[in-house]
A and B are shown apart, each in its own frame.
Chain A
């Protein structure tokens, strides 16, 4: 029997740890008839460090957010581009398929073997005080995470404040920041429902955040051919879709928790002024991204088009 050690870093109650890893570990154990057992470990360090720890064999598998390692991961920002207009599950499947068809050869994940690619749910605007239009965000102090949020913040003219996600609660409570761009699930898991009482819920959100689940190649080589195939068979698109779905469920629970706590959620319709304003704001961002990944020598334009097509037709 082989133990597959997974390094994890979100709270144990987060869907990634409460649903995704346990489900996958059940799949792995079934597929290998109990020869491979998955064990989750916490407290190993910063999320960005997981890439190195898995590559060098200090742990066997893990997951991380691409935005924590800027410069190395550029192609993964394709799926994060605004106006995709789908949930995490659809986006995750598109992410996985397009990566394998277009981006894999650029070897951004050099050193680790990908198990899955997925996204968190749509990023929304969470504010202490209500806003009437996106123009109100100008000069507001907003905590921005990695990925495409920086560009969004720049276009909105916000005062960007950098901080790790677990710090957001404290900063909101004390008014150091006026708001944060983050998915709805964080109303529950980061407890924003206590401090960010006003949410602008755009259809499809403003952006998505790209994540990877990955495994050490030597660990895979150490398995029998049969077990290796079994592990990979329960990963890939199947795992990507499951992860996206679990994070979507997290978003739904976030919305419920927020509503139960009296958070004022403005549901923006596709033709409402907020949505129109947002479409104007992000005009041309995708082209800038295509330009920024030129050095990767992939057909980013076609990839983006295909990504959108897969995501928007998913489940139809």
Chain B
């Protein structure tokens, strides 16, 4: 436990004080931490056997860079960039603006809803945030929204991606625990919509406190609104192709990224909004963002190898099992552990490390594993926007180069509170998750 905690402390120091890029901080601490657990000390530095640690880190680099399921990252970002370039996003937002713009914070609300919609087609939170950042940020800026509110609604909205099916994370949870995946998918719906609703409340709260953050626009007449709708057919077609293709079984969510990008490319061509030069810009911009994201993922995985080896997961289990409290208290302690871990972990590595440890305990306490899956996913979502290592926040600051992570973290606080409220509701009222699976399958 001590080794892992020292590792955390050093990591935070490197990231926050020394301002070494996150990817490299995690990689370096993970590497030396792993070596330390293997017996590295200051005395044996010169003749230490570095091979195990070097191979561990090297294999993470080589394997992650060739991970098929990660192809969604460059391809969905490419789709977002193409959609933006062809002017579709502006039109989508003009329409949202026509309907919601006269309300305070209306575009932020539109963003949250759009993220929810995009989540439904995309299995990955990172891809959702990166795509929506490209689509939603320019219009919100144009209409004078504060950067903190605008980016926070994207970062928070992006976390909806892992709860609304199809969800990569739920599938992995189902396989780790042998829980019915279709029940998990069904269980995710209501908590997902609850999330959207609470985020909308969070936007309302922010603009109530500070009306400047999301200024009201003019009110449109109904005929103007319908006219604005004319422009969104392109997005609707793309959405229908991607969504429909997945639900009809024509392609997988992973492939949907490529299809979505291809579809956006065709639309952009049809609208004559592409030249060789601008296509090159879009492709290279996407490649740069992807390289950054892959670096962060690789760093996170190397770091998680160290934490795992340092025995943190096991000691947590010992700690939780040793508590002499009611079953529900055990669950709350586990959730607290998740929130603390979430401050430094990337969601997938956190899930892989913790679920195998906790689920037998939870099962033996008599809880429903479908319900626990949803609780775990919600708490993992929270980790995506929890400082100091909220992966969604970093994605945004990587995609929007001129916005600081600190600005986003500041804006995200009300959304984080909304998430905590939802977590408490879902934990205490199991029916929120279990109603649909019981209705459909049990």
Contact = CB atoms under 8 A, between A and B. Distances in A.
Interface of A: 11-13, 41-46, 49, 52-53, 56-58, 163-164, 166-167, 169-171, 173-176, 188-191, 194
**Most chain A beta-carbon neighbours within 10 Å: one of B68, B166, B255, B356:** B356
Contact of B49 (A53, A57, A173, A188): A57
A164 to B, nearest CB: 7
Contacts of B308: 41-44
B171 A169 contact: yes
Interface in B167-184: 171-172, 174-178, 180-182
Given A44-B305, A58-B59, 6 more contacts: A11-B177, A52-B55, A57-B49, A169-B171, A175-B248, A176-B251
By secondary structure, the B interface counts as helix
B48 interface: no
Interface in B57-85: 59-60, 63, 68-69
Interface of B: 34, 49, 51-56, 59-60, 63, 68-69, 166, 171-172, 174-178, 180-182, 246-255, 301, 304-305, 308-309, 349, 352-353, 356, 360
Contact of A188 (B55, B63, B176, B178): B178
A109 to B, nearest CB: 17
22 contacts: A12-B356, A12-B360, A42-B356, A45-B60, A49-B63, A53-B56, A53-B59, A58-B34, A164-B68, A167-B171, A169-B175, A173-B181, A174-B247, A174-B249, A174-B252, A175-B248, A188-B178, A191-B174, A191-B175, A191-B180, A194-B180, A194-B182
Contacts of B353: 42-43
Contact of A171 (B247, B252, B304, B360): B252
B249 A58 contact: no
Contacts of B180: 191, 194
Nearest to B356: A12
A224 B230 CA distance: 79
A95 to B, nearest CB: 27
B59 A45 contact: yes
A261 to B, nearest CB: 10
A194 to B, nearest CB: 6
Contacts of B51: 56-57
B171 A170 contact: yes
Nearest to A188: B178
B259 to A, nearest CB: 12
Contacts, number: 98
B52 A57 contact: yes
A173 B247 CA distance: 9
B309 A56 contact: no
A170 B178 CA distance: 14
A46 B60 CA distance: 9
Contacts of A170: 166, 171, 181, 252-253
A11 B176 contact: yes
B52 A56 contact: yes
Give the 4 A-B residue pairs with the shortest CB-CB distance, closest first. Answer: A175-B249, A56-B55, A57-B52, A43-B352
A120 to B, nearest CB: 17
Contacts of B255: 176
Contact of B304 (A12, A43, A169, A190): A43
Contacts of A163: 68, 252
Given A42-B356, A56-B51, A191-B178, A166 B171 contact: yes
Contacts of B166: 170, 174
Contacts of A52: 55, 59
Contacts of A175: 248-249
Contacts of B68: 163-164
A189 B175 CA distance: 7
Contacts of B172: 166
A167 B71 CA distance: 14
B311 to A, nearest CB: 9
B178 A13 contact: yes
A191 B181 CA distance: 8
B178 A11 contact: yes
Nearest to A11: B176
A176 B249 contact: yes
A53 B175 CA distance: 24
A169 B52 CA distance: 35
Given A13-B178, A194-B180, A58 B56 contact: yes
Contacts of B63: 45-46, 49
Nearest to B171: A170
A12 B358 CA distance: 11
A12 B252 CA distance: 27
A167 B252 contact: yes
Contacts of A164: 68-69
Nearest to A48: B63
A315 B411 CA distance: 69
Contacts of A190: 175
**Most chain A beta-carbon neighbours within 10 Å: one of B52, B56, B174, B175:** B175
Contacts of B250: 176
A107 B55 CA distance: 22
B317 to A, nearest CB: 12
A12 B357 CA distance: 9
Given A166-B175, A175-B248, A190-B175, A53 B55 contact: yes
